[in-house]
């Protein structure tokens, strides 16, 4: 509706309350301070490695702060239905993951699935987006990233079902190039479908305004195409 108002199609009443959209996340606590000494360990030595779902306000604030301080994109609220995780080895936080709503339209993904426009509108909620993945900068553990991705994709459908009452059947993510190469996604058996055009979801002038990204997907069930296209 805001986009319709910007296009001059409707006139909305003034908002009653403000929101935090576009505002910097300023929360800083001692718990999220960087560790002075790198933590170095082979991944097979992390015997207590687990994913902890963010479930309360305190954990949510801590997750947001870590992402804002150490992820190159900073913190922004995830769109739509979402799940967030801490990755822990015992009491130590090693990494963070966030899943949210899928991109509205991505040509390589939509061609790969075989979607019509109407099918995409009806079934887009069955695709989820790995919008944030951060291994904290003082953690040094070879192959940890692909191990975490495998752990996440093996449980995300169950967790989503428990939280929202339906099971997603595909995960996607976008990897900015040339900043990253998507090596951990490839190692975790995600499939690279190509590149974005760098226009952004609201760009209308057909100009390249944003960094280009590679598009990766991971089927969460064998019959994902049938479920997405029926």
At residue 3, the 3 state secondary structure works out as helix
pLDDT at position 210 is 82
pLDDT at position 207 is 60
Report if residue 14 sits inside a domain.
no
Taking alpha carbons only, the member of 62, 69, 220, 71 closest to residue 153 is: 220
Report if residue 31 sits inside a domain.
no
Report if residue 85 sits inside a domain.
yes
At residue 66, the 3 state secondary structure works out as helix
Domain that holds residue 87: 40-229
Q: What is the CATH number of the domain that holds 178?
A: 3.40.630.30
Q: Output the six-digit token pair for 36.
A: 């002075």
pLDDT digits (tens, 9 = 90+) for 104-119: 999 999 999 999 999 9
Report if residue 60 sits inside a domain.
yes
pTM of the model: 0.86
pLDDT digits (tens, 9 = 90+) for 138-190: 999 999 999 999 999 999 999 999 999 999 999 999 999 999 999 999 999 99
Instruction: Give the span between the Cα atoms of 23 and 21, in whole angstroms.
Output: 6
User: Number of structural domains, the chain?
Assistant: 1
């Amino acid at each position: 509706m805001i986009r319709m108002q910007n296009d001059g199609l409707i006139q909305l009443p003034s908002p009653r309350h403000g929101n935090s959209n576009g505002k910097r996340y300023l929360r800083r606590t001692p718990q999220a301070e960087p560790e002075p000494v790198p933590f170095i360990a082979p991944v097979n030595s992390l015997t207590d490695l687990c994913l902890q779902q963010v479930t309360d306000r305190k954990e949510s604030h801590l997750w947001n702060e870590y992402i804002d301080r150490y992820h190159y994109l900073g913190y922004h609220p995830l769109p739509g239905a979402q799940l967030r995780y801490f990755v822990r080895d015992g009491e130590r936080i090693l990494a963070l993951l966030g899943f949210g709503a899928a991109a509205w339209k991505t040509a390589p993904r939509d061609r790969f699935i075989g979607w019509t426009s109407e099918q995409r509108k009806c079934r887009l909620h069955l695709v989820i987006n790995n919008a944030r993945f951060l291994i904290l900068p003082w953690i040094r553990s070879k192959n940890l990233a692909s191990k975490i991705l495998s752990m996440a994709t093996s449980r995300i459908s169950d967790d989503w079902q428990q939280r929202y009452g339906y099971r997603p059947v595909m995960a996607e993510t976008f990897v900015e190039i040339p900043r990253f190469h998507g090596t951990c996604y490839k190692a975790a058996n995600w499939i690279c479908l190509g590149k974005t055009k760098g226009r952004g979801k609201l760009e209308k002038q057909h100009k390249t305004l944003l960094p280009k990204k590679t598009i990766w997907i991971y089927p969460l069930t064998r019959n994902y195409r049938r479920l997405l296209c029926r």
